[in-house]
Each structure stands twice: as structure tokens, then as C-alpha cells.
Amino acid sequence: MDDTFEAAAFPAQTASRTMASSLEGLLRRDIISGELPPGSRLRVRELAEKYESGPIPVREALSRLSTGGFVIAVDQKGFRVADISLDELADITRTRQDIERLAITKAIRRRDTKWEGEVLAAHHLLRNIPAYEATDAQRINPAWERAHDAFHAKLVDGSGSTWLAHFCGILRVQTARYRQLSVTAPRSEERDAPAEHARIVEAVMSHDVDLAVSLLADHFERTARLVAEALSRQKKNI
């Protein structure tokens, strides 16, 4: 059965799946931004009203997000936003360093000029978008977040491995959940993220595998340190 026939034969199911996909993106966005805080209850009826949807697509969207680690399904009690922790942050950071080290090494060694041009284009777009919202310097600009995600995705796309890119994407979106904390936290160190991005690109273009790997790992580590400071400070204030 082709997709056209299936959609015609089961319009209600198709519409529900489409709505669930849309809601999944909206809920993920609001979890990443912190609008839906870690550990908070996710009541289906309230979310249906908030996102102007029915309860069935909401429940399906929440179930999908639970497989990605953003939402926890609690037996007989519904759903809640997954907690964040120093241990998870460290695990995500180390795993991302390991897997992206492999991906960028493979990408640089392939020396694909088309990929290099796409990296340059993604970096150009990123550096020309303000990182913070004009009306709130404590919130990341959604347009910058999208460009930042696209830049890091492009770095690993050059590996030529669909599975590597897939796993890198999973870790990247989990990292984004913690990034907002690094923005709002008072900083014990000065950081120039645009300069970090620029140095990574320079290393890639010069085909310096060791330097690119080192710079990328340090880039992730700096974010993790800032987030860890924020989480530690929150615990002290509780």
C-alpha cells in the first residue's frame, strides 16, 4: 500500500500522526529551552489546551519523546520531563567527545571539497546570527540555536557514515538541553564561543586532524564546565 492510498484510506490516523510529529517538535523545543522545567509533570489535558490539540496526539508525542530521553513515562502516573544531573552531563559530554572525534577524523581524511564548502557556509551563517535574543540576553536566540545545530551537524556529516551522523545528532540535541544553563549561569571563565568555532573550522580546512579533534573536544568541555557550575549553584540554593 503506497502512502497516498494509505492517507486517503485512513485520514484520521494520518492527521493524528502528523499532529503528533508537530507536537513532538514543539514539546522538545520547550523542554530544551526550559519552559517545561526538568522534573515537571506533563499533564496530557493541560498540554492539549496549551498546544491546541487533542489528547491522543499529545500522548503519542510524549511517548516518542520518552524514547529519546527527554520525557519519563511513569507507570499509572503519566509523564514528566526528564531530570538533568551532573552525572548525565558528564556522560553525554564524554560520549559526544568520543563519537565526534571519530566522525571528524573520518571527515577530514576524506578531504571532500563539497563538504568543506558546506562547513564554511554553515559557519558563515552561524557567525552572522546573534546568539542571544534582543529582548532578553539570558535566552538563546532560536535562530542561532538552529544555525549552531546545523554547523555541528555539518562537521560530522563529512564522515560519510549515516550511523555516525545519527548518533552524533542524538547526543547533540541532548547537549542543547543543557546549553541554556550555560547562558544564564555566572561565569568563572571568559569564553569566546565564536572564536572557538572559527578555530575548529580553520583546523578542518588545513586538514589538521589532531588539532581539530582537540579543539572540538575542548569546545564541548567548556560548555560542560559552565553547565556544571550552574547545576552546582542551583543545588546550593535549594
pLDDT at residue 68, as a whole number: 84
Q: Sheet of 41-42: strands edge to edge? A: 41-42, 78-81, 71-74
pTM, whole model, 2 decimals?
Answer: 0.81
Per-residue pLDDT tens digits for 80-113: 999 988 899 999 999 999 999 999 999 999 989 9
166, 103 Cβ separation under 8 angstroms: no
| CA–CA dist 55, 46 (Å, integer) | 9
| CA–CA dist 23, 58 (Å, integer) | 7
Q: C-alpha cell of 55? A: 489528547
pLDDT string in tens for the chain (238-residue length): 444 444 444 444 455 568 888 899 899 989 988 889 889 999 999 999 999 998 999 999 999 999 888 999 987 678 999 998 889 999 999 999 999 999 999 999 998 999 999 999 999 999 999 988 888 777 788 899 899 999 999 999 999 999 999 999 999 988 888 877 766 555 556 788 999 999 999 999 999 999 999 999 999 999 898 888 877 776 665 5
Give the Cα-Cα-Cα angle 11, 13, 19 (nearest 5 degrees). 100
Residue type, 174: Q
Give Cα separations from 61 to 3, 212, 233 (angstroms). Answer: 21, 37, 33
Provide DSSP, 115-164. HHHHHHHHHHHHHTS-SEETTEEEEE-HHHHHHHHHHHHHHHHTT--HHH
Domains of the chain: 3-81 (1.10.10.10), 86-237 (1.20.120.530)
| CA–CA dist 23, 59 (Å, integer) | 10
- The partner residues of 71 in beta bridges, in order of sequence, read 81
Classify residue 82 by its DSSP letter: P
